[in-house]
Amino acid sequence: MKYMVHSCNARRWYVDNFLVPSMLKQGIKETDIYVYNDTERKGNLKAFVESCKKANELWGEAELVWHLQDDVLIASYFKEQTEKLTTNTYLDYMFICGFTTDYDENRKTGAGFVLDDMWFSFPCIMIPNEIAKKFTEWYDVWVERDPQFGFWVRQKKGDDLIFRIFVENYYPTAPILNVAPNLVEHIDYLIGGTVVNPQRQMKNVRSLYWEEEYLVEELKKELAKYDTDNR
């Protein structure tokens, strides 16, 4: 089991100084973490595709990989739960969703669901490398050439939506686990706001199932100190 952190230049400071250190503090090995930084500003969509290719290059098709975005705070039980849930999980669940928000409030928690109930969980989701590889192959053949995807390709985003369309076409009955309490909290509002969707009306998109608000308060203090020390 490995961890792929998706980052961009604007958020690398948070990933390097807060997110990755919090993972290491819980006992996750540094060698099990890879930060894919979109240094060339390819955008969320293309960067996600490239990160899936990198995950296969690094770890092979048989690996199970947790994908994390660069604007999350991990729960105190993150390492314990990701390890527990991923053990032999490919026999039980093809995807494990560790985050949801109000956008998915009508989708249930728990196990045994299929695509219609799958959360839009890209802040924290487990994707088997075997599936990630097939997704990148499908993307390279179809997405950038098919007019129906043109808007998202031009906008350089919609990675979660495009991936969902892929799953809908090839794995519509794949078993899915929606994990509650969530494994991460979305804290982009604490580190400058959304990078991808500045037009978003809902500026504070929080976890629907988060039970460790004290960690958010601790992060606020740490961020304030970091800001003071680095002015």
Q: Residue 131 and residue 127: Cα distance in Å, rounded?
A: 7
Q: What is the pLDDT along the chain (231 residues), one digit of tens a residue?
A: 999 999 999 999 999 999 999 999 999 999 999 999 999 988 899 999 999 999 999 999 999 999 999 999 999 999 999 999 988 665 688 999 999 998 887 888 987 677 888 899 999 999 999 999 999 999 999 888 877 787 887 888 889 999 999 999 999 998 999 999 999 999 999 998 765 444 344 446 899 999 999 999 999 999 999 998 886
Q: What is the CATH number of the domain that holds 176?
A: 3.90.550
Q: Please enumerate in sequence order all residues whose Cβ is within 8 A of that of 119, keeping only pairs 6 or more positions apart, or say none.
A: 97, 99, 100, 104, 107, 178
Q: Residue 79 and residue 228: Cα distance in Å, rounded?
A: 30
The number of domains in the chain is 1
Element (DSSP H or E) covering residue 67: strand 64-69
Angle of CA points 221, 224, 225, to nearest 5°? 90
196 phi and psi angles, rounded to 5 deg: -85, -35
First to last CA, the chain: 38
Per the CB < 8 A criterion, the answer to whether 187 and 216 are in contact is: yes
Q: Which residues constitute the domain of residue 204?
A: 2-229
Q: Residue 204 and residue 23: Cα distance in Å, rounded?
A: 24
What is the model's pTM? 0.92
CA atoms within 13 A on the CB side of 126: 29
